[in-house]
Chain A
Amino acid sequence: MKRFMRVALLVLCGLGLLQTALFTDEYLRFVKPGMRWLLIASGVVLVGLGVLEALSARLGRKERGRHEGHHEGPGEHDGHGHDHSRVPRVAWLLFLPVLSLLFYAPPALGSYTAAREPAKVVAVQDDGFDPLPATSPLPITLTGFTQRVQQDRSRAIKGRAVQLTGFVSPADGGGWYLTRILISCCAADATTLKVRVYGGTPPKADTWVTVTGTWHPGGTLGTSSAAVAVDARSLKKVRKPSNAYMDALPLG
């Protein structure tokens, strides 16, 4: 029974990791894409450990059959500093995340987290800004837009139609933000990028949308007093990207 529990725990842990990193891309809800191969390798190692444990149970039984009464039984490893055959009681807790990964993975962080965090401070772009491409409307990341609005002294963004993609998070007082959550290692260190959107009816929280609009005047453009906001001209629902934790341009 103890042996069975150990095998089950190890194999399920491995399968949980494989499920999240190999069979689906749900791991992107928790960690960065670069973790994928580490997770798959860990999953394989854990399944392997479980299989070895199951095999050693069968071998142990055969062995015992050969020299009767020689062994005290599978798992009883005499005199070792501490008994390795016991399943530590705390190990049962591993079932919680593992079953959750296998059958009931939670969604990526969304508007709940975004609403409770102040907007991230974007990096200062030291070496000036290139002229904006002429395409209109101009697809731009939330980081790019924030930098253009708050740091670009040439005010190239003024009057330009821009296209921003993110998910909806409610703002205090009825308005809403176009939002992206970024992570640097795992979802525990999430930071939030927000652009306030004016105009139009606010869509439901957590829906992914592409907003086309122009800079919403407020403060002095090109300085940190400028409002990071757009006047929306049009709104289009888009599919949620599989890697929600990055600030990428909308596809197509």
Chain B
Amino acid sequence: MRDTGIRGSGIPDFRDSETLEFGVVQARRQARAAEAAQEAQAAEAVSVRGLPRHWLLVLFGAAVLPGAVLVVVGRSLEEPAVQAWRTVCLAVTVQALPFLLLGTALSGAINAFVPASVFSRLLPKRPALAVPVAGVAGVVLPGCECASVPVANSLIGRGVTPAAAFAFLLSAPAINPVVLTATAVAFPGSPEMVLARLLASLVTAAAMGWLWLWLGREEWLRPAVRHTGHRAGHSRWEEFRQGFQHDFLHAGGFLVVGAMAAATFNVAVPRSVLDVFSGSPWLSVLFLAALAILLAVCSEADAFVAASLSGFSPVARLAFMVVGPMVDLKLIALQAGTFGRAFAVRFSSATVVVAVVCSAVVGGVLL
């Protein structure tokens, strides 16, 4: 930004050519501007060392801004829509936390206390056979879907073939006695709905297990999920406590992500939209499957929600109850956190397709 090129070059300031004269004048102007800028910079440098320029303004801003932000945020928290969002978000979190705690405690216990040989003895050697057995074993885990993700993870860590663990992951929240009882209560006088739910969920879980055997790749699973179980020389209780605690904090964070997403859809999409789709039998199946993913209702309650969607065909309501416990926003968040994003996206989308097809077929035959 130095102007020596012109001033010191000895070129006369004024010439005949107007254009040149113009050019020189401009150069001078630029030079002056540059000097001014340098001075300003110097002045600023001085003032930084002392007090910032406009320090009164800065002080004033510091005093007023946080207050203003607080007021604006506070006001918006009082908005009815935001309040409803907060209530739904907290409701999903509070409802799921005890079951998540149960699931992470169970997974911690499996890691610390159950030797890997137990599973290899209980499950058939051939993975293709282990898949349906693990699917049926889902009956033993009472609770909703949040509990099954950490448990499935710890099963994989204990050497259970991933395909079998995934069959368990999908079937456990849908076919345990608590959920089946709730379904029977929600659909009084139609036991075929309970049977259809049991069958469609089992078939979907087994199909997804086999699909994983056929197409699944280990590298989609996050390698960090490997628990190594008990190691000699360490206290089992201490291992249990640490695994439990870590898994809970980890899964709890993802639960909050999922609850927020579910609350957003819950508040943003009014239920009256539903009636638009209830007319067409095929669209309504797809629509209720999508709704199950977005609403993220706990699997112990989804039968009641399905029962309240009275405008829809039984097959569509079955699809709602089959898809819901296997794929929903909070589960996708939990799976992404536990198994990695690459897995969660592929697995969830494949599960939706398989679940919709299974419930359409089973529902078509039974309902």
Query: A-side interface residues toward B, CB under 8 Å?
Result: 6, 9-10, 13, 17, 20, 27, 29-31, 35, 38-39, 41-42, 45-46, 49, 52-53, 56, 77, 79-82, 84-94, 96-97, 100-101, 104-113, 116-118, 120-121, 184-189, 191
Contact = CB atoms under 8 A, between A and B. Distances in A.
Interface stretch (B24-32, B46-54, B257-265): B257-265
A112 B245 CA distance: 38
5 contacts: A84-B246, A107-B83, A116-B270, A121-B308, A184-B186
B95 A186 contact: yes
Interface in B122-146: none
Nearest to A121: B310
Contacts of A9: 249
Given A81-B157, A94-B253, A188 B228 contact: no
Interface stretch (B160-168, B192-200, B205-213, B295-303): B295-303
Nearest to B97: A42
Given A41-B98, A118-B272, A121-B310, A187 B250 contact: no
Contact of B250 (A88, A108, A121): A88
A31 B250 contact: no
A97 B90 contact: yes
B305 A97 contact: no
Interface residues of B, number: 63
B69 interface: no
A120 B298 CA distance: 20
Interface in B57-107: 77, 80-81, 83-84, 86-95, 97-98, 101, 105
A77 B92 CA distance: 34
Given A112-B83, A118-B272, A94 B252 contact: yes
A138 to B, nearest CB: 27
B249 A10 contact: yes
Given A31-B95, A80-B228, A188-B296, A46 B101 contact: yes
Contacts of A77: 242
A97 B259 contact: yes
B250 A106 contact: no
Given A31-B95, A111-B80, 14 more contacts: A10-B248, A13-B252, A17-B97, A29-B87, A30-B95, A93-B256, A97-B90, A106-B83, A186-B91, A186-B301, A187-B91, A188-B88, A188-B91, A188-B92
Nearest to B83: A106
A149 to B, nearest CB: 18
Interface of B: 77, 80-81, 83-84, 86-95, 97-98, 101, 105, 157, 186, 224-228, 231, 238, 241-246, 248-250, 252-254, 256-257, 259, 262-263, 266-267, 270-272, 275, 295-298, 300-302, 304-305, 308, 310, 337
Given A84-B242, A184-B301, A94 B83 contact: no
B224 A82 contact: yes
A154 B244 CA distance: 60
Contact of A106 (B90, B186, B238, B304): B90
A208 to B, nearest CB: 16
A224 to B, nearest CB: 12
Given A35-B95, A46-B101, A112-B83, A105 B90 contact: yes
A200 to B, nearest CB: 24
A42 B98 contact: yes
A152 to B, nearest CB: 20
A186 B300 CA distance: 10
B179 to A, nearest CB: 11
Given A30-B95, A35-B98, A100-B86, A82 B226 contact: yes
Given A52-B241, A94-B249, A189-B304, A20 B94 contact: yes
A42 B101 contact: yes
Given A82-B225, A117-B272, A184-B301, A53 B245 contact: yes
Contact of A49 (B86, B241, B296): B241
